[in-house]
Structures are given as structure tokens and as C-alpha cells.
Amino acid sequence: MTVVEAPVPVAEPSPAPAAEPERTQQGVAIICYSGELEKTWAAMILASTAGAMGMPAKVFVTFWGLQTFVKDGKRVTGQNWMQKMLSVMSRPGIKHRKMSKMNFLGMGPWMMFKLAKQYGVASPAELLEAAQLMGVEFVPCQMTMDMFGLTRDDLIEGMGEPVGAATYLSYVAEGASPIFI
Amino acid sequence: MTVVEAPVPVAEPSPAPAAEPERTQQGVAIICYSGELEKTWAAMILASTAGAMGMPAKVFVTFWGLQTFVKDGKRVTGQNWMQKMLSVMSRPGIKHRKMSKMNFLGMGPWMMFKLAKQYGVASPAELLEAAQLMGVEFVPCQMTMDMFGLTRDDLIEGMGEPVGAATYLSYVAEGASPIFI
Amino acid sequence: MTVVEAPVPVAEPSPAPAAEPERTQQGVAIICYSGELEKTWAAMILASTAGAMGMPAKVFVTFWGLQTFVKDGKRVTGQNWMQKMLSVMSRPGIKHRKMSKMNFLGMGPWMMFKLAKQYGVASPAELLEAAQLMGVEFVPCQMTMDMFGLTRDDLIEGMGEPVGAATYLSYVAEGASPIFI
């Protein structure tokens, strides 16, 4: 989620569309929306591969996706009881993602990690680290941070400044291809 | 969903690919596919922010997403019993979206709306209204309307003419970036 | 999923970004990630419509999506017990997709197919066949094949060589618009 900076409803579209500058920035602008294990994996594979290819890549982390980027040690996050309850119901951290189906109280993820290891596939946590080292930028959504009561200190090291949807869309306006995961 | 206008299977690809004209139309072409609360929110944030930035934005509303755009007063929609049952099982309207998880018989959404209000985040219904006022066009999928038995009168005011996938893909061919939500 | 070809973590981004060649290839590069009935339908409608329009279209089939492209006759796939169990828990093949909600032990899909037939909408299996005939290329993800223990013989006829995320992203670098479904 991201704060829409005071969307003042106006009666007609802006006369001068300012949002289509030269498309200088290419590459991908991934929205990491989901907190599920499989989609986290998909997002990290695309991000780290783009990094390895030298392809510009930014990852905008929002909604349930932001829980993935909470430090591993953090167990409860949030300022008020509702925010705390949300973090308790769904444990944060990239190592604690659940599968969208066939989770079987953790047996599904256990099998996936076992199969991944057997076939030499890196885990989401390893891929995240590789992506960061290769210059992929992960930026948290300001609005999600507000709504979940997350602070910069709750998040893993190396993330960018929190931004809103307008900043994300400016990447697209500059030519990056959006991928919503 | 959208009717594929009589996809006559031919034995080889068309010799003259007509679908890549000059990329004159930029901006985003959002597919609003999901009827879930959080994804509806994400789609409305992107649409209204694009509108506020003067970035061209079209929203193609299809599958479960179309239920979101049914007028608030409508309780049962459809022509036959199957279509009516679908609308009864999942109440239409943007104010009645359920969360993809942690719905807790409505407590999840209640908490989300409470947190949103506390942090000054507009609701999906408010963002939709803002987006429409700022020139974002919402177009319903003809095939979904047929399959769910929806009429133009069932849908909110201000939506465009129902179109199919070919029209949606023509936006992409002209340069709009697809975002499937 | 796809193998990240040995992502050697380096301390800084590559000096010469090689991933942004001339954008010669346009069209769409669909990621068919989900195995759900509705999303399978959405992906097949977009793919077959793009094919009918003569718009270049590639479909990268990964994660749960790959189960959709297993031959209809195959009931159990995989080399070890974990892989076999996954195929048993979720029956492979395009004719056996389940709905993401309201599946009702198969009544939901039955209603959807009945409504589709009534309104002249082609089934996912028919759309897939049409798409292939019209030149849309379906390429399986090598890593998913490894992790699920799938062989080329398990998959339907006419699919391309298995590739990884780097190949997929090269389509995007060449100008194809990504659509993650």
C-alpha cells in the first residue's frame, strides 16, 4: 500500500500529462505484494536474475509483501493492538513464509525447501541477499509501514527510503516494465 | 474474462503481424482481476495515483474484479440460478470486498478500514471515485458480463463500453504497460 | 520456478549492463504461474487473443502453472515420494484445474464450464490449442521441472525447450511486456 498524496478530486484530467518523460530507465519494476512462500520465491528469482544480468531492477515492497522484509529476529511488530495482532497471526520474516496451499502445518514448505536443496535451488533468503549484493534496490511502501505500524528498524538492512505509489509509477513512466507478484 | 472473438485456429502464425503499431499510448493498462479487498485496494491506489500524475491509465475489469463494480444497492445479480447463486455467495460492490486471508467473518476488513482511517488512507471506494474524476477509464469485460449475467444497469455509473481481450491487448500494443492485479 | 544459474554474489553491480539491447521484440511475455482454473482461463484468453491478433506472445510456464501443461492421461508424476505426493494432492492437466474459491468439490468449475458453453466461451483447453496453432510459444521453467520431477514426456506436445529466468527476462529486455498471472 502507499499513501496517495492527498488525491484532490478534480473535475477533469490534468491538461498537461507530466508523467511520460523520456523512457531512459528500462529494466523491471517488481511489486512484491504477496507474502506467500511461492510468490516470494518467484519475486526473488526474478530480482536476483535481473541483478546478475545487469538489468536495472527495483522491487517495491507493499501490503503482505512487506512482512517478508521484517528482520528475522522480530516476532511482534506494530504500535497498537490491531497491528500487533496482525504480526502475531502471520509471523514476519523471509524464513517464515507459508505456502498458498498445501501448507499442511509447515510440511509443504519443508518439502519445498528439501526439494530445492536437492536440486541446487537457492532459498528466497539467499536470493534476496544475492539480489541486494548485485545492486537490486528494495524500497518499502510508506503507507503499508504506517498501517502495519512498522518502523525502519523493523526492516532488514539495506532497504531504500520508504516511498509511495507515485514514486513507483515514475519508474514505469521512465520505461521500467511493471511486474505485480 | 473476455470473449475471444471466434478464435479460428489456423495452421500457422499470421504472416503480417498487425498488432505492433507505433507506441503512441504510454501509461498503464491495469487488469483488475481479483475481487479481494487488498488487491482491490492496490488496483485503486495505482489507478488513482496514475490519474493524479496525469499518466494515462485504463482499468480493464474482469472475472471476480467485475463484482467490485456492481452498484452498492444491488444484492443479487444474474439471469439464471447459477449466476444468481454466484452473486449470493460473494456479495457484489466495492464496499463488500473480503480479505484474501484473516477475514475472520469481517473483523479483518474492519481492522484494515480502522487502521486506514487512523493513518489517513483513502478507502477503495473513495479512490475509485477520485480515479474516475481524474480521467481514469474503467472498462468492463464483455465475456465476464455474459457469464455472470450482468447488465450495464448493474454496474456503477461512468464505466466505459464493455470490450474484449483484443481491445485490452491493443492498449498494450500501443505502449501501455500491463499490470495484472 | 527457474534455476538462477549460479548467482555468484558480487559486491557491486555489473559495470556494463548487458541486459538492455535494442527493443526489437514487442508483444507480451506472460508468466503462467498459477494453477487455478480462473487464472488459467485468463492466461489462455490473453495468449490466444494475442496469437489471433498476430501479436508476438510467449508464455513462460512456472511453479503451479506447470501442472496445467502435464498431459491429460498422466495421473502421478515425479521421481521421489515428495514429488509424487504433490501430483496426487493436486491433479495435473488443464482439464482438472480447481477454482481459487467456491470450488465446492467441483460444482464451481462445473457451473463455470456450463455458463461458458451457454455463452459461447471456449474452454482453457480449447484456447490453449488455438494459441499453439496460432504460433504462441509455451516454454516450461527448467527449475520447476527439476523440483517437481517432471520430464519432457510428462508435458503436452509442442512446448519449447525448458529455460530459466534469464531467458524470460531477455524477452522483457528486448521489449516484450511482462504479465504475471
Contact A115 C16 (CB under 8 A): no
Interface size between A and B, measured as CB pairs under 8 A: 117
Q: Which residues of B touch C112 (CB under 8 A)?
A: 147
Q: Amino acid identity, residue B44?
A: M
Per-residue confidence band for B21, with pLDDT thresholds at 50, 70 and 90:
very low
Minimum-distance CB partner of B53 among A9, A10, A18: A18
Complex ipTM:
0.86
How many angstroms separate the CA atoms of C54 and C29, rounded? 14
Tell me the β-bridge partners of B29. Answer: B58, B178
- What is the distance between the terminal CA atoms of chain A, rounded to a whole angstrom? 14
Contact C146 A119 (CB under 8 A): yes
Q: Residue B107's Cα: distance from chain center in Å?
A: 25
Q: Which residue has the higher pLDDT, B60 or B6?
A: B60
Q: What is the pTM assigned to this prediction?
A: 0.87
Cβ atoms of A162 and A137 closer than 8 Å: no
Contact A52 C166 (CB under 8 A): yes
How many angstroms separate the CA atoms of C31 and C178, rounded? 7
Mean pLDDT of C12-32: 63
Minimum-distance CB partner of B49 among A23, A31, A166: A166
Strand B57-61 and strand B28-32: the pairing is parallel
C10 pLDDT exceeds 90?
A: no
Closest CA to B66 of B135, B178, B143: B143
Name the DSSP letter for residue A163. Answer: B
How many angstroms separate the CA atoms of B59 and C158, rounded? 34
Mutate which: C26, C103, C177, C180, vs A, most A CBs within 10 A: C180
Q: What pLDDT, on the 0 to 100 scale, is given for residue C101?
A: 81
Separation in Å, CA of A32 to nearest CA in chain C: 12
For residue C143, what is the enclosing H or E element?
A: helix C142-148
Q: Amino acid identity, residue B115?
A: L
Percentage of chain A beyond pLDDT 70 is 86
Closest CA to B118 of A148, C108, C91: A148
Closest CA to B138 of B44, B49, B53, B64: B44
In tens, the pLDDT along A15-62 reads: 444 444 455 558 999 999 999 999 999 999 999 999 999 999 999 999
How many angstroms separate the CA atoms of C43 and B84, rounded? 26
The Cβ-side half-sphere exposure at A130, using a 13 Å CA radius, reads 25
Minimum-distance CB partner of C1 among A54, A121, A177: A121
**Sheet bearing C177-180, strands edge to edge:** C137-140, C57-61, C28-32, C177-180
In tens, the pLDDT along B123-163 reads: 999 999 999 999 999 999 999 999 999 999 999 999 999 99
Q: List the single range of A107-116, A140-149, B149-158, C46-55 with lowest mean pLDDT.
A: A107-116
- Residue A135 burial (CB count, 10 A): 17
Separation in Å, CA of B104 to nearest CA in chain A: 11
Q: What pLDDT, on the 0 to 100 scale, is given for residue B23?
A: 54
C143 pLDDT exceeds 50?
A: yes
Q: What pLDDT, on the 0 to 100 scale, is given for residue C100?
A: 86
Per-residue confidence band for A117, with pLDDT thresholds at 50, 70 and 90:
very high
